[in-house]
Each structure stands twice: as structure tokens, then as C-alpha cells.
Amino acid sequence: MPVFLDANDSDFEVAFSRLLNSKREDSPDVDYVVAEIIADVRTRGDEALLDLTQKFDRFALTVETLEISQDEISEYILKVPDKERVALELAANRIRYYHERQLPQDAMWRDGSGAELGWRWTPVAQAGLYVPGGLASYPSSVLMNAIPAKVAGVGRLVMTVPTPDGVINPLVMLAAKISGVTEIYRIGGAQAVAALAYGTESIAPVDKITGPGNAFVAAAKRRVFGKVGIDMIAGPSEILIIADGVNDPDWIALDLLSQAEHDKSAQSLLITTDGKFANSVAKAIDKKLKTLQRKSIAEASWRDFGAIITVPSLDIAVDLCNRIAPEHLELCVKDPLLLSKKIKHAGAIFLGALTPEAIGDYVGGPNHVLPTARSSRFSSGLSVLDFMKRTTLAAMSADVLRDVGPAAVTLAKSESLEAHGLSVTARLDKLT
């Protein structure tokens, strides 16, 4: 049974805090294993990749077949049905258009003292995209990671995708082609992350790694951070829906289940001002669960981590939402835009009953790589900016240096950094 809470109950705060702090993620202690895998790849390079692929993916690779050739990619793309190809191209176009609007502008100006100041944006030179394989093979994730990188101007975009038992998803190959991926290697797990970070004989290292993965991939990304940049360490998916009573219970039930079917550790929450509606949604979920192909996954998620919370007002709902800081937030209320302005923490907000979260997963335009586990309190979803760097610019004239230089000397002396101060004094002496 999911949790049912009422904000009017005397023990609500205790129960809500328990829900808020519940541990959902199954976090086996894989760090030691991952450390060994990374060390192995750094030491033996390609040979380690071949051995580990045989061990974990039951697939015999050679150095010559590490990379999926352009001819192979073309053959797989031909297997994609026309309907799926058209849908993927539509999604790619919408994602690309949205992310093009995110491109930042360079700036240069002269401040009140006469100094020239500014910044310049440049792309990461090369990025690596990790794509899960097997059952968790999502072409939409390829689009969401690769397109912002290409819009940012990344020149070399490398994709790694495990192929358990040699199986490749043709739609993933098409997504990579549409997105501008330049190299694809059939490797996965911590060994793929290590190869992207440190390089091997066949795979040149990258500057940043993005993309979802299991506990081993997450641990590997943590370990290589600093050597390369990473996007985020994502946990199980989650959705919060704030709804009034003027909604279709079946719609809301399906929206909640759309996240529950991702993972047994996923979380689906409903906050509503209408107790009767809350009961209707609960009944609808029980009914819809029986028809889902991924029933066992969705049922476990809803049973173990789902919750329906009844509140006296939307203001209370907003307060609870800001404490939850959800990855996905649906506002199924009369004026969703107005209510959204009160939301401080959410990865993505879907406005109105006609905008289910699943639209955002595929064809909405905004990125679906979002902060989980309450991290929207301090971070954002993946964007073009994740593949760009800002370099500051400053130019002092003689007059400006005379004006502000003495203060720099004073501060350098206060920090006992003699050469810092002398580097400014030498120029001031020359000017006088």
C-alpha cells in the first residue's frame, strides 16, 4: 500500500518527514570493484575492455570491433520502422530548437573606471555520452545528451553503449546519427567511463562525460570527476503531481504510473486539495496497474514509495513541494502558470492537465536529464551550458592601473603574498 497522508492530521509532520527522508536508492557498495576496474583499464587499456566486455556482457570483442563502424550504423538504421524514424526526427528537431535558445552571448564592456571587462563562451572540445544498453536502452536519452552538446559546438562526441549478447537497438543508432555523434563504441559499465576519462589505445579521452547508468556507472563517474567533468549523479526517477479535484483520475493515475514503471525505486507522489479525488486516483491506479506490461516494477514502486497527500489549500501544496524539490512536477490546477511562480525547487514543471510528464521525456523540447533526490534545490537539468565554459576577460589601461593598482598591492600585503604585490608595484613604478 502507498502512503496516505492528510496535512490536517496531528502526526502529519512526522509522517511527511519520514517520507521525505526515506531511502529509495539501492546503493550496493560497488566502489571497491569500480576502483579495480578503472585501474585495470588504465593499466591494460583495450585488453581490459575486451576482457570486461566478455565477462559482463557475454560478448567477444576484438580491437577491430570495439567501434561500431559507419557501415554497421547504416545497416541498423535501415531496420528502424518509418513511424519510429519520423517520431524520432520530430523529437530531435524540437529538442534542438529549444536548446538553441539557450546559447549564451559573449560580452565586453568598459566599467566606470575605464577598465575593459567581459567574458567569452567556448565549447568543450570533446564529450563522452554513456548510453545504457539491454533492457534500459533509451534513444530519447541519446537525443537529450547529444543534441545540447552539438548545439554548444562540441566537435568530437563519443558514445559508449553496452551490447549484452551482441544486441544493438537500431533506434539508438539512428538517434546517434541524427544527433551528430562522431564515434560509437560497444562497451559499457565502469570500464566505459574509465576509457572515456583516461583513454586507451583505441579510444581517445574526452573532457566531459554525461549520461545515465547503474550503480557501477555512477560510482565510476564519481571517481573520474576532476580528471573530466560529469553532468550529475542521478538517482531513481520521481514525479510529484499537484492537482485540484477538477481532473480526470485516470489521467493522473497514468501520469503517476509513468514514473513508477521506470524502476522499483522510482517515486510517484500526488498532492491534492480534494479527498474524494485522492480516493478516485488510488482506485484508478489499482485498475491501471493490472494492464501494464511492466506491472511488477510499477507495482513495487507504487507500493513501497508512492504517496497521496491531502492538503487544505494549494499554498500548503506549494510549501510541501518546495521541501520535496521534485525532479518532475505536474501542476494540474486551474491556473498552473500562476502557481508555478511560487515553486522554488523543481527540475522541470509541466503546466496543466494537457501536459503530461511523458511529453517532456520525448517531444516537449526541454531536457529530460534532471536533478533527482531533492538536488533541484541546488542544481538544474542538463543544458547547452553543461557543454560550454566561460572565460573571463580583463584589460587595464595605464590610468585604470594607477587608479585600482594600489588597492591590489594593499590586499596582497595583507595576505603575505609579496610577489603578487610586487608584480603590480613594478608596473606602477614604470608608469610614474
Q: Is 110's pLDDT higher than 80?
A: yes
Predicted confidence (pLDDT) per residue in 367-400, tens digit: 999 999 999 999 999 999 999 999 999 999 999 9
Predicted confidence (pLDDT) per residue in 280-292, tens digit: 999 999 999 999 9
Whole-number pLDDT of residue 198: 98
Average pLDDT over residues 116-132: 97
Predicted confidence (pLDDT) per residue in 297-307, tens digit: 999 999 999 99
Whole-number pLDDT of residue 134: 65
Q: Is 26's pLDDT higher than 60?
A: no
| CA–CA gap between residue 76 and residue 172 (Å, rounded) | 9
In this structure, are residues 174 and 138 in contact, taking their beta carbons and an 8 Å threshold? no
Q: Could you tell me if 10 and 127 lie in one domain? A: no
pLDDT confidence band for 353 (50 / 70 / 90):
very high
Query: Do the domain assignments include residue 391?
Result: no
Q: Is 165's pLDDT higher than 80?
A: yes
If one compares 136 and 66, the residue with the highest pLDDT of the two is 66
Q: Could you tell me if 197 and 285 lie in one domain? A: no
How many CB atoms lie under 10 A from the CB of residue 150? 20
In this structure, are residues 144 and 367 in contact, taking their beta carbons and an 8 Å threshold? yes
Whole-number pLDDT of residue 1: 75
Grid coordinates given for 383 = 543544458
Burial of 128 (0-12, 13-18, 19+ CB in 10 A): buried
Average pLDDT over residues 117-135: 92
Whole-number pLDDT of residue 432: 85
For the chain, the average pLDDT equals 95
The one-letter amino acid code at 50 reads: L
Whole-number pLDDT of residue 133: 81
Q: Could you tell me if 305 and 409 lie in one domain? A: no
Of the residues 364, 386, 408, which one is the last residue of a structural domain?
A: 364
Strand order in the sheet with 156-160: 183-185, 156-160, 126-130, 208-210, 229-230
pLDDT confidence band for 214 (50 / 70 / 90):
confident
Please report, for the domain that includes residue 78, its CATH number: 3.40.50.1980
Q: Quote the percentage of the chain above a pLDDT of 90.
A: 93
> How many separate domains does the chain show?
3
Q: How far is CA 68 from the centre of its chain?
A: 25
pLDDT confidence band for 58 (50 / 70 / 90):
very high
DSSP string, 122-166: EE-SEEEEE---TTS--HHHHHHHHHHHHHHT-SEEEEE---GGG
Q: Could you tell me if 331 and 426 lie in one domain? A: no
Reference 323, options 17, 9, 4, 23; nearest CA is 17
If one compares 98 and 235, the residue with the highest pLDDT of the two is 98
| Inter-axis angle of helices 82-100 and 170-179, nearest 10 | 30
Q: Is 116's pLDDT higher than 80?
A: yes
Of the residues 320, 341, 364, which one is the last residue of a structural domain?
A: 364
Query: Do the domain assignments include residue 72?
Result: yes
| CA–CA gap between residue 107 and residue 231 (Å, rounded) | 26
Q: Could you tell me if 132 and 70 lie in one domain? A: yes
Q: Is 21's pLDDT higher than 60?
A: yes
Query: Do the domain assignments include residue 211?
Result: yes
Please report, for the domain that includes residue 403, its CATH number: 1.20.5.1300
Query: Do the domain assignments include residue 382?
Result: no
Torsion of CA 62, 63, 66, 72, to 10 degrees: -80
Average pLDDT over residues 140-147: 97
Query: Do the domain assignments include residue 387?
Result: no
Provide the residue range defining the domain that includes 414: 396-431
pLDDT confidence band for 28 (50 / 70 / 90):
low
Q: Which residues are the active-site residues?
A: 327-328
Query: Do the domain assignments include residue 388?
Result: no
Whole-number pLDDT of residue 387: 98
Query: Do the domain assignments include residue 61?
Result: yes
Query: Do the domain assignments include residue 265?
Result: yes
Q: Could you tell me if 142 and 42 lie in one domain? A: yes
Q: Looking at the DSSP assignment, which residues form a beta bridge with residue 239?
A: 268, 328
DSSP string, 287-353: HHHTT-TTHHHHHHHHHHH-EEEE-S-HHHHHHHHHHH--SEEEEESS-HHHHHTT----SEEEEST
In this structure, what DSSP letter does residue 114 have?
Answer: S
